[in-house]
Structure 1
Amino acid sequence: MKKIVLTGAHGALGSVLRAPLSRMAESLVSTDILDQPKTLMPNETWSVADLGRFDQIAPLMEGAEMVVHFGAVVDEKPFEELLGPNYVGAYNVWEAAYRAGARRVVYASSIHAVGMAETWSGVDTETAHRPDTFYGLAKCFAEDMGRMYWEKRGLEAVCLRIASCTPEPQNARSLGTWLSHRDLVQLVTRSIETPVVGFTIAYGVSANARAPLSNARVGFLGYHPQDNAENYAATLLSRHTPDPTDLAQTRVGGPFAAVPLGESGMDALRAISGPAVKPDGT
């Protein structure tokens, strides 16, 4: 490819994707609201831009074939704080990509688009939206917009409902929801390389033995995760006290399902996560 655009390039996941994406195109345009890091890939350029400003986003899309949209406020906040970056920002990216003639948007959606679904309910890519927060609602909005842009304008989209993407699993919930960085890179790569995707939803989850999420319907992406959170189970389960009345434990959205609307889900998530765990359970 000639050009890929990556939004949210300074974020925890965007930072992981910069190097592999740079190897997939002649040029990588990385953008974030933050200043560029100290080093860039040889074929990477950096643009500081606000997702909520169409006039700042549109010029970045010129000549792009793929847009990997990972920019957002990544937490629950009052609706007004999410409106610009997460709602308007998604529209700006899709509309600018369409006007520029891009072929596809690969979008960092979230498990929180279906966060109120019960963990035992057999969640798959046909599960209806059940957002757990204003943050999750923004993901529903972007997914529906992505489907509309495909069906009305022919702009393809792969919406990745990312669950718990960290270097190692952090808590008992992540025994099912963990997505390793290695598997994240593979999932995004497959979302770009697959010849035709139309509008596709896939779960960002590793090959966890306890995964409550299924990608069985989207095997055509060729995503075969390599990592399994079960290797960390002994220590993670020793920290866990089951409570069948706690939404944070019984819904796929975890703590985001239990917090009041507008209040941080990340704070609640950090409260249940202990020190880093090694694969041997120590």
Structure 2
Amino acid sequence: MKKIVLTGAAGNLGHELRATLASMAAELVSTDIAEPRSELLANETWVKADLAEMDQIAPLLEGAEMVVHFGAIVDEKPFEELLGPNYIGAYNIWEAAHRHGLRRVVYASSIHAVGLCENNRGIDTDEPHRPDTFYGLAKCFAEDMGRMYWEKRGLEAVCLRIFSCTPEPQNARALGSWLSYRDLRQLVTRAIETPTVGFTVAYGVSANDRAPVSNARVGFLGYKPQDNAEDWAETLLPQARPDPADLAQTRVGGPFATVALGESGVAGIKALSGK
């Protein structure tokens, strides 16, 4: 491809994707409100821009074929704090992509779009929205917008409902929810390279024996995860304290399912990990 745009490029996952995306296009435009975390790649340009400001975002997409939209606040916050980057920012990306004739948006959605679903139901990619937080609600908003822009304007979208993406599983919940960095890179690559996708939802999860979700309906993406959190089970299971009444243990959203609206869910995940 001639040009790919990556938002949220200074975040943990965006930073991890930079080299992969740079290898897939003649030009990579990386953007964030922060400075880059490492030296720029040979074909990479860095632009500081605010997702909530259309006049800053729209020009970056000119001439691009795809945008990989990973920019957002990645925790539960009061609605007013999420409105700009997570809600308006998503609209700005889709609208700018439409205006400039992009083919596809690859979007970092989240398991929190269905975070109140039970772990033991074995949900798939047709599961209706059931957000656990304002953060999860923003993901529902963007997914629905992605479907609408496909059906009304022909702009393709792949919405990746990412679980717990870390270098290694951090706690017993991650035995089901972990997404390795290697599998993340493969998933995004497949979301870009698949010839036609229309509007597609896929779960960002590794090949975990205990995964509470299924990607069986989206096999056409060719995503075949390589890593399995079960390799850490012997270490992580003794740390668990089973409580069937604790929504953090029984819902796919984990601690986000239990926090009050507007309060940090990341803090609960850190507590599970003993950090």
2:11 matches 1:22 = no
For residue 35 of structure 1, report the CA deviation from its aligned partner: 1.9
For residue 36 of structure 1, report the CA deviation from its aligned partner: 2.9
2:73 matches 1:73 = yes
Alpha-carbon distance in structure 1 between the residues aligned to 2:81 and 2:169: 29
Alpha-carbon distance in structure 2 between the residues aligned to 1:32 and 1:123: 33
- Give the aligned CA root-mean-square deviation in angstroms: 0.7
What corresponds to 2:162 in structure 1? Answer: 162
Q: TM-score, normalised by structure 1?
A: 0.97
What corresponds to 2:221 in structure 1? Answer: 221
Q: TM-score, normalised by structure 2?
A: 0.99
Alpha-carbon distance in structure 2 between the residues aligned to 1:272 and 1:99: 44
What corresponds to 1:280 in structure 2? Answer: none
Q: Provide the secondary structure at the position in 1 that maps to 2:182.
A: helix
Asked whether the equivalents of residues 36 and 48 of structure 1 are also in contact (C-alpha less than 8 Å), the reply is no
What corresponds to 2:137 in structure 1? Answer: 137
CA deviations 1:70-100 (Å, max 9, x no partner) are 0000000000000000000000000001101
Alpha-carbon distance in structure 2 between the residues aligned to 1:163 and 1:170: 12
Q: Which runs of 5+ in 2 are unaligned?
A: none
What corresponds to 1:188 in structure 2? Answer: 188
CA deviations 1:234-277 (Å, max 9, x no partner) are 111010010000000000000000100000000111011037xx
Partner letter of residue 253 of structure 1? G
Q: Which runs of 5+ in 1 are unaligned?
A: 276-282
**Identical columns (%):** 76
Asked whether the equivalents of residues 110 and 163 of structure 2 are also in contact (C-alpha less than 8 Å), the reply is yes
Partner letter of residue 187 of structure 1? L
Q: Provide the secondary structure at the position in 2 that maps to 1:245.
A: coil
Partner letter of residue 235 of structure 1? T
Alpha-carbon distance in structure 2 between the residues aligned to 1:63 and 1:118: 43
What corresponds to 1:146 in structure 2? Answer: 146
Asked whether the equivalents of residues 256 and 268 of structure 2 are also in contact (C-alpha less than 8 Å), the reply is yes
Asked whether the equivalents of residues 76 and 265 of structure 1 are also in contact (C-alpha less than 8 Å), the reply is yes
Asked whether the equivalents of residues 167 and 180 of structure 1 are also in contact (C-alpha less than 8 Å), the reply is yes
Q: Provide the secondary structure at the position in 1 that maps to 2:121.
A: coil
